[in-house]
Structure 1
Amino acid sequence: MPAPDSLVVLSQWISAGNTHPNSCYRESIWPLAPLIDNPSTSLLSIRWGHCPAALLDEMKLVVWTMINGQLRPSYLQSRGVRARARVSAPEMLETCREWIRLARWLNGRGIGSLGDCTETEWRAYARTRMVDGRSRDSAERSCSRLTDLWAFDQLSARPSRIPRPPWDTEGVDNFLPAVDGGSGGENSTEPLDPHVLGPLLVWAIRFVDDFADDILVAWAEVRRLTAHVDATPSTPEGRAAVEEFLLPLVDSGALLPSTWHKGRRSLALTYIAAITGASFGQVDRFNQRHRLSDLAARRAGSCPLEFPVTGRIDGKLWREHMDFSEAAELMRHLGTAAAVICLYLTGMRPQEVQGLRSGCCPDPEPGPGGVPGRHLIRNRREENAEDDTPPPHLVRGRHYKNVTDDDGNHVSAGEVREVPWVAITPVVHAIRVLERMVPKGELLLSAAHHDFTHQRGNHGSLKTSALNKRIEDFVAWVNREAKAQGLADQVIPEDPHGAIGTSRFRRTLAWYIARRPGGLIALAIQYGHMRTVLDARTSSGYGSRSRRGIHSVLDIETALSAANTAAKLRDQAAAGEKISGPAARRALTAAADTPRFEGRIVPRTFASKAAKFLARDGVVLYDNPDAFLICAFKHDNALCEPEPGATAPRQYDCQTGCGNTARTDTYARQMREKADEIDRRAAFVPEKLAKRMRRNAGNFRKMADAHDATAQTAEALT
């Protein structure tokens, strides 16, 4: 039994580096921070004020048992592979909340002990709790947590003898809401709309590549000026300098240096103190005496910093000068831009990006004599060939999902990933910028060092909710700036599927690799190279220690895309369209044999099915709208030279004359439309370029003519 002074979290469950405060059993707030080593997890607490007094002692004991105990192996054996003897602190908190919710319901029915919760109460509570407009997955999690209440009560020093819930013996299906088609999990996440992602990525890269130097210099200057003001004493000379600077501005009707404060414009006190040499107090007293903040709100002016601006948009300087009052906001947006690049262009989960530290992406080591080393990841057909090109940058960090110790217990700190991520150039630039924003060895997204306004010293990295809010603020800033710069075509529209959240980037990367191989947005070629790395599985898994990492997401998206391609070809053939190409007959056969995929619901079991679906060499169809053809991918026929074992073509390297290609009437028509478009553009470019463009248009028409001459109907081919 725990005593009143017993620790809430016993020492054997606290890692050596965890210094978060613990508490005593008797206290009304139990911090779970001693169990939290994941920098992306908020520091959580159990608050007993929500638990009814009649059931408080019993609930405290069973929760303490959960925090410090382990479920029996015999109990876990029948719970599936996801069951854990000990779970994470966030899951403990959610479980405790579920138990307290039951306690409040029992108390409302006049029941003062968990042991008095009979089977009748269990069934009544299930009817109340499980059909309250909830999804089936959510209700099933509640049932599991309530079953754990019975299991942990059996392990406690003084069991309340709450009976076993009926769903644990009868099966849970009868206690859950009706199937509504809802689905949880990562793969139900909608990818970002291309019209949203395109300008979002353009602006994120623009911030990192073009604006970062100006923003970082401005922030350094703001900190220098602020520190100088903090150390400046009040002197008669300072007071005179303030009057000499401000009174002419007030009398002439000129704009006053201003900044945002508590949602409104007010006089920029620190800036004025810095440029006049006065103390902050002298400027503040002068401001109050003359009521200048009210005047500054009506005559708001800028606070220019004295250094040259270098960043450009479309060849023009993006600012005449950097402003003292916007430096903190721009630093916030710079960190957000770098985070967006890392979240999208690596395939990492948000937790993994949040766990990266300065120094995680060192420059590759040069080889003997200063010659760069050979590629770690390269085409296997060149295994024995010399390769003097620089090796790729590798990002080393931790992963957290499903990390357990030898006993199957959740490990909050995660573990260092054995296989690093491959970083393309924009990611390397983003990491370098983040390394300039935080101290050496610190988290790249440190909550303390990315709090530029309040400096509150928050724990760990920026949390998911904070990153989501910052992305929304970044989009709002971009749209204001795009309109101010006359770049209406670079405004980021609203996404039709809701807010841009961190969880959507990883799915979107897989969507683009699978469905936009030639690319309609920036960095298409890099997507193609990432596809090659992913298909090769050279390192036993890019971005994961097994195929269940980014591979499973990519396999799912590729399988969905291939199924859609087959359905589209089947519908076109049924509508009378003709088909040409060496793989036309094989493509039609594959389309006929591929089941139509209705809807977008992707259960967890679909990943393994998708991998098997893609492994059917020769009968999986890949749509390539940029090459105006369909690839019925057969590995040995492919002229794009895929990796050994690859289940998809290098669609960005599609070759004329490949034996895997098929073309429909629709694509032939689109090729002629493309040729007409190229001809129209050629009229507005220099002659040499115009000749090349017209020659390209002619090639499109020749291929369309070849299709018309050789295309056959589905009946003729089959």
Structure 2
Amino acid sequence: MTIVTGIVDPYVLPMPHPASPVVDTRWISPHNTHPNSLYHEYTWSLAPLIDNPSTGLRAINWRKCPKVFQSQVRLVAWTMINGEIRPTDLQRRGMRARGRSSPLDMVAAVREWTRLARWLHQHGIDDLGDCTDGIWRDYIPTRWAAGTSRRRARQVLGHLTRLWDFDLLSAHPSGIARPPWEAEGADDFLPGIREPGGGENSTEPLDPQVIGPLMVWAIRVVEDVADDILDAWEETQRLTATAASNRSTPGGRAALEAFLAPLMRFGTPLPAFERGGSVFLARTYVAGMTGASLRQTKWLTKRHRLSQLAARQTGPCPLRVPVTGLINGRPWREHMDFTEAATLMRHLGTAAAIVCLYLTGMRPQEVLGMRSGCCPDPESDQSGVIGRHLIRSHHFKNVTDHDGNQVSAGAERDVPWVAITPVVNAIRVLERIVPHGELLLSASHHDFTHQHKHPGALKLTALRTRIEDFVAWANREALAHDLPDQVIPEDPHGAISTARFRRSLAWHIARRPGGLVALAIQYGHMRTALDTHTANGYGARSRGGIHSVLDIETALAAADTAAQLRDRVATGEKISGPAARRAITAAAHAPRFEGRLISAKFAKQAAAYLARDGIVLHDNPDAYLICAFKRDTALCDRTAEDTVPTLNDCRPGCGNAVRTDTHARQLRERADEIDQLAAHAPDGTRQRLHRNANRLRETADAHETTKVEVTA
């Protein structure tokens, strides 16, 4: 604080010295052990402020800032890192204003200040105090010259405003002028093109043709072959440790020669590995298997030019572990290989992460924040009923302290996430990889090749790369196991980023209720499950949880259903069912949603759209009908608060059912398919299949006898 004429101003910080720490200790959490930088250094680490395990460590590099501005910009940056904007100023700026920024925003702000300083220097200005109102107005258009979205431009204006904010709170203010948009509003200073939306709701869901086989391979790796991979990795580590500890002895040399001599004599492939386009003898594997030292193995390799020989006679490095996993009904490997174990462990960790990203509804940072032990086995109640598996972990979005400032470490959710069986299996696999209490996706424990001690969890960019590598590996495996229908195609909307999984889950729940996507059937009751007392806090719409994303996708799907019904009626199709007239009215008044970008307000609009009882249409392709959902007449299993039907529990005789000529045709086509299956089935099964086919035809006949032509 600074004392001026007897008045203490707690928001104005004292002047730092060259040896002052960059981050004051009051802002460093007790568990943060990252080293603190000093004021005079050219690189300022902000790691002492970062407690989110999925966030990369950030630093400010002063070498890019013009020297004439460094003393002024450093002081403002130090004040921003350690100070707070006055509450009176925050109140003037609205509810979203924060007294302190996140470390990532601090780095971005200094980057913008440095950019401004370079522009000022190029225009003959070497003092921030000479940045007047007119200079601000000249600079901003040049800042957008290279092309900047309005959303990004708002962030830039905010960073530049903070230069003025914290200059006023520094020990020696430069006197930089107040940015004109602070008084006049930002609109006139932003680029002209307006864009909707942003955030996770504008993220494209993964294509169904992508997520289906991707989940098949992810769950297959976790549930079918994980034991083989983990056993192979354990044996690989044992052989590696053995090779490193072996001493050079006559017995070891004799065993080494006895192991390699027959291979060299008879031209048998030698245990080898490929790296950088070259082939080498697998010396660590050979030393571990024979008891020879690495030095002896290296000497023998040079003496007999075994690497050159291995390049011509490249062979595997089989491990003495059993292969128990099956793919397509056959063992997935002839043997587990020493040289492949690290790669398979990397893919195993990625597969488990994919399962958690898709089947929990958690945000990527929340998945990366999970720790071993976060999902204990549930206990049974007094009646012997075993409860759900619950994930108790941290969330990070909008977590603030009592002053409204972001808390980097996040906070444990008051209400845990619900975990279905595939997620529990994935967590159990990850718990076998990392020690108890450690991050399940710890960067250091998931570095199987180099085993560097990276802090925190895997970063989002690294996880995206691992997902791309997993897709390429799974596609090779699909072809090797004669499963071309399980090849994962390229997604039409680009890379499989981690943020797209959560949106994809909502899309598939809303549009694939019967399970056309792998495992979607296991999530048929997800909306109901999230509305129970166990999970209500996470799914509650008022908390902006997964339900807001579900509402968006369900509203979009309902609007598409209404549009399709309008189109079918316009082409002369007839409809039947107790809710036929109501459905036509709903279709005529339903809005069309053009494009896929979703605005920030659309979540509330979607919830309101779905709450219009009786006039929202939900397509159920597995039941061959449309549900004009009305609470009072619905027969499906649901809660009293639900504004949508439980589509995988459609029941005959429901007053909300509507069918079109297209549905009747599909019913007959499905009946024919079932009859074809029955022709090759045993007697009991054949009769049951024929009965099912006949029921479908009876439903189609009922449509024909009751359908009406409606003028849209």
Counterparts of 2:155 and 2:312, CA distance in 1? 56
Deviation at 1:150, TM superposition (A): 1.1
Report whether the alignment pairs 1:430 with 2:444.
no
Contact 1:238 1:277 (8 Å CA) reproduced: yes
Deviation at 1:692, TM superposition (A): 2.2
1:259 to 273, 280, 296: 273
* Cα separation, partners in 2 of 1:513 and 1:289, compared to 1, 3 Å: same
Structure 1 counterpart of 2:375: 361
Contact 2:414 2:537 (8 Å CA) reproduced: no
Counterparts of 2:222 and 2:168, CA distance in 1? 56
Structure 1 counterpart of 2:669: 673
Contact 1:541 1:551 (8 Å CA) reproduced: no
Contact 2:556 2:593 (8 Å CA) reproduced: yes
**SS of equivalent to 2:274:** strand
* Cα separation, partners in 2 of 1:438 and 1:16, compared to 1, 3 Å: same
Structure 1 counterpart of 2:598: 602
Counterparts of 2:289 and 2:227, CA distance in 1? 23
What are the equivalent positions in structure 2 for 1:604-619 lying under 5 Å apart? Answer: 604-619=600-615
Report whether the alignment pairs 1:219 with 2:224.
no
Counterparts of 1:350 and 1:693, CA distance in 2? 44
Structure 2 counterpart of 1:489: 485
- Runs of 4+ in structure 1 deviating by more than 6 angstroms, as ranges, are none
2:565 to 563, 569, 573: 569
Structure 2 counterpart of 1:232: 246
Question: Which of 260-269 and 155-164 deviates more?
Answer: 260-269
Report whether the alignment pairs 1:125 with 2:139.
yes
What are the equivalent positions in structure 2 for 1:428-467 lying under 5 Å apart? Answer: 428-467=424-463
Identity %: 63
Deviation at 1:539, TM superposition (A): 4.2
Contact 1:135 1:182 (8 Å CA) reproduced: no
For 1:560-613, what per-residue CA distance to the aligned partner results, in whole angstroms no more than 9, with x for missing partners?
Answer: 111111121122222221111001111111112221111112111111111111
Report whether the alignment pairs 1:79 with 2:93.
yes
Amino acid at match of 1:410: Q
Structure 2 counterpart of 1:311: 325
Deviation at 1:180, TM superposition (A): 5.1
Deviation at 1:320, TM superposition (A): 1.5
Structure 1 counterpart of 2:79: 65
Counterparts of 1:551 and 1:232, CA distance in 2? 58
Counterparts of 1:670 and 1:71, CA distance in 2? 64
Question: Which of 643-652 and 532-541 deviates more?
Answer: 532-541
**SS of equivalent to 2:617:** strand
Report whether the alignment pairs 1:688 with 2:684.
yes
Contact 1:207 1:334 (8 Å CA) reproduced: yes
Deviation at 1:125, TM superposition (A): 1.9
Report whether the alignment pairs 1:547 with 2:561.
no
Counterparts of 1:594 and 1:131, CA distance in 2? 41
Structure 1 counterpart of 2:468: 472
Amino acid at match of 1:642: R
Contact 1:536 1:644 (8 Å CA) reproduced: no
Counterparts of 2:588 and 2:142, CA distance in 1? 48
Structure 2 counterpart of 1:384: none
For 1:522-575, what per-residue CA distance to the aligned partner results, in whole angstroms no more than 9, with x for missing partners?
Answer: 223321121212345764433579430111111111111111111211222222
Counterparts of 1:109 and 1:184, CA distance in 2? 35
Counterparts of 2:279 and 2:601, CA distance in 1? 55
Deviation at 1:459, TM superposition (A): 0.3
* Cα separation, partners in 2 of 1:183 and 1:287, compared to 1, 3 Å: farther
Contact 1:153 1:160 (8 Å CA) reproduced: yes
Question: Which of 472-481 and 236-245 deviates more?
Answer: 236-245
* Stretches of structure 2 lacking an aligned partner (at least 5 in a row): 1-14
Counterparts of 2:194 and 2:570, CA distance in 1? 33
1:103 to 109, 112, 117: 117
Report whether the alignment pairs 1:512 with 2:508.
yes
Counterparts of 1:680 and 1:83, CA distance in 2? 65
For 1:22-58, what per-residue CA distance to the aligned partner results, in whole angstroms no more than 9, with x for missing partners?
Answer: 0110000100000001100111111111111011111
Deviation at 1:182, TM superposition (A): 5.4
Counterparts of 1:543 and 1:436, CA distance in 2? 30
Structure 1 counterpart of 2:42: 28
For 1:407-449, what per-residue CA distance to the aligned partner results, in whole angstroms no more than 9, with x for missing partners?
Answer: 0011000011000011000001011111111001111011111
2:523 to 524, 527, 536: 527
What are the equivalent positions in structure 2 for 1:574-593 lying under 5 Å apart? Answer: 574-593=570-589
Counterparts of 2:302 and 2:188, CA distance in 1? 70
* Cα separation, partners in 2 of 1:178 and 1:675, compared to 1, 3 Å: farther
Counterparts of 1:241 and 1:635, CA distance in 2? 78
**SS of equivalent to 1:649:** coil
Structure 1 counterpart of 2:19: 5
Deviation at 1:265, TM superposition (A): 2.9
For 1:625-680, what per-residue CA distance to the aligned partner results, in whole angstroms no more than 9, with x for missing partners?
Answer: 11111111111211113101101111011111100111111111222222222223
Contact 1:422 1:542 (8 Å CA) reproduced: no
Structure 2 counterpart of 1:647: 643
Question: Which of 656-665 and 534-543 deviates more?
Answer: 534-543
Deviation at 1:103, TM superposition (A): 1.2
Question: Which of 132-141 and 655-664 deviates more?
Answer: 132-141
Counterparts of 1:95 and 1:227, CA distance in 2? 48
**SS of equivalent to 2:52:** coil
Counterparts of 1:536 and 1:184, CA distance in 2? 30
Report whether the alignment pairs 1:711 with 2:707.
yes
Amino acid at match of 1:506: R
Amino acid at match of 1:514: A
Counterparts of 1:322 and 1:605, CA distance in 2? 53
TM-score normalised by the chain length of structure 2 = 0.95
* Cα separation, partners in 2 of 1:541 and 1:588, compared to 1, 3 Å: farther
Contact 2:530 2:536 (8 Å CA) reproduced: no
Structure 1 counterpart of 2:6: none
Structure 2 counterpart of 1:625: 621
* Cα separation, partners in 2 of 1:121 and 1:285, compared to 1, 3 Å: farther
Counterparts of 1:683 and 1:128, CA distance in 2? 74
Contact 2:213 2:518 (8 Å CA) reproduced: no
**SS of equivalent to 2:406:** coil
How many residue pairs get aligned? The number is 698
Report whether the alignment pairs 1:204 with 2:218.
yes
Structure 2 counterpart of 1:381: none
Contact 2:393 2:412 (8 Å CA) reproduced: yes
**SS of equivalent to 2:60:** strand
Contact 2:417 2:538 (8 Å CA) reproduced: yes
Report whether the alignment pairs 1:397 with 2:393.
yes
